[in-house]
Amino acid sequence: MIANLKDLGVSFSFFDAVDGQTMTEDEIAAISPQPYRGHKGRLLTRGEIACAESYRRALRQFLASDSDYVCIAEDDCEFTSDALGYLVPAALKRLEPFDILRLVTDPAREGGLTRIILKDGLHVIHAPLRLGFFTLAQVFSRTGARKVLDGLVPLWAPIDMILYRDTGIVGLRVLELRPAVVSHREVDTTIQERFSPRTGVYASFRVEVRRRLWLFRRRLRAVRSYRKAWGWAGLWKLRATSWLGLLRL
């Protein structure tokens, strides 16, 4: 990453992430982790708790500065030269005011309902109704950083789910750049799989029914959040980018 960012002429610094194995009970209690009902009521792992706490500390550091924006990227990503146009405050200010601009996208959600904000050469800025996974790289505005800080406690899901997939912060104005200008670099990792791919997480029939109801309410929450973020006009302008997208509300 050092070589990648230096080649692009991007100024950067590394932020030491929180180690979930060394967090004290008081530090964990401060973020008030709750069972994740979106995944059969399982408990959050220490790694998931630490990841959210890392974002909280990084965003506080950003708000203590005089910068208008900050790009927080994970340590296994690679920026393309096209990313430079979205790391300049003047370029970001020409967009509709936003809380988060995602520099990556989840291919599984690219066909869903969205509203095009700006066509910018080879790239398009979208305001999608539903978002996918990944916190690989994104730009936060100061307003967005404050909203995220206010919405992470209690922590009831992994941070990428709260910010994006589960619409955990109602009214968050999230834009997404397509195609992505940041990619994942395949490197060795010390992070283990969350769950066994064979056994997964066991759930009784009752728990599974509750989860399905929760997922249905998540769809309704996405609509409510979008209306709060972008207004009724923004909601009416949503269009599917594919016929399959009409089924992905």
- 3-class DSSP assignment, residue 243: helix
- In the chain, % of residues over pLDDT 70: 91
Does residue 193 belong to any structural domain of this protein? no
Q: Looking at residue 29, what is its pLDDT? A: 96
As a whole number of angstroms, the distance between CA 91 and CA 108 comes to 28
Say what the pLDDT of residue 205 is. Answer: 78
Taking the chain, what is the end-to-end CA distance rounded to the nearest angstrom?
A: 36
Count of domains for the chain: 1
- What pLDDT does residue 109 have? 83
Q: What is the pLDDT of residues 2-40, one digit of tens each?
A: 999 999 999 999 999 999 999 999 999 999 999 998 887
Q: What is the pTM of this model?
A: 0.90
- Residue 156 belongs to some domain of the structure: yes
Give 113's strand partners: 240
Give the per-residue pLDDT at 198.
Answer: 44
Residue 167's pLDDT band (boundaries 50, 70, 90)?
Answer: very high
Average pLDDT over residues 101-128: 92
Q: Does the residue 64 lie in any domain? A: yes
Cross-strand pairs, 177: 125
User: Which residue spans within the chain are E strands per DSSP?
Assistant: 69-73, 77-79, 100-102, 113-114, 116-120, 123-126, 137-141, 174-178, 182-184, 239-240
Across the chain, mean pLDDT equals 90
Q: Is 86 a residue whose pLDDT tops 50?
A: yes
In a domain, 192, yes or no: no
Residue 194 lies in a domain: no
State the pLDDT at residue 189: 65
Domain that holds residue 102: 2-183+200-247
Quote the pLDDT of residue 54.
96
Which class for 152: exposed (0-12), middle (13-18), buried (19 or more C-beta within 10 A)? buried
59-73, 115-129, 233-247, range with the lowest pLDDT: 233-247
Q: Does residue 188 lie within any of the structural domains?
A: no
Residue whose C-alpha is closest to residue 156's, from 241, 52, 78, 7: 52
> Is the Cβ–Cβ distance between 95 and 101 less than 8 Å?
yes
Does residue 40 sit within a domain? yes
Q: What are the pLDDT digits (tens) for 185-199?
A: 887 766 555 554 444
What average pLDDT score do residues 54-64 get?
A: 97
Is 60 exceeded by the pLDDT of residue 131?
yes
Q: In the prediction, which pLDDT does 241 show?
A: 75
pLDDT in tens, 196-243: 444 455 567 777 788 889 888 999 999 999 999 999 999 999 998 765
Which neighbouring-strand residues pair with 116?
Answer: 126
**Does the residue 98 lie in any domain?**
yes
Please give the average per-residue pLDDT across 66-89, as a whole number. Answer: 94
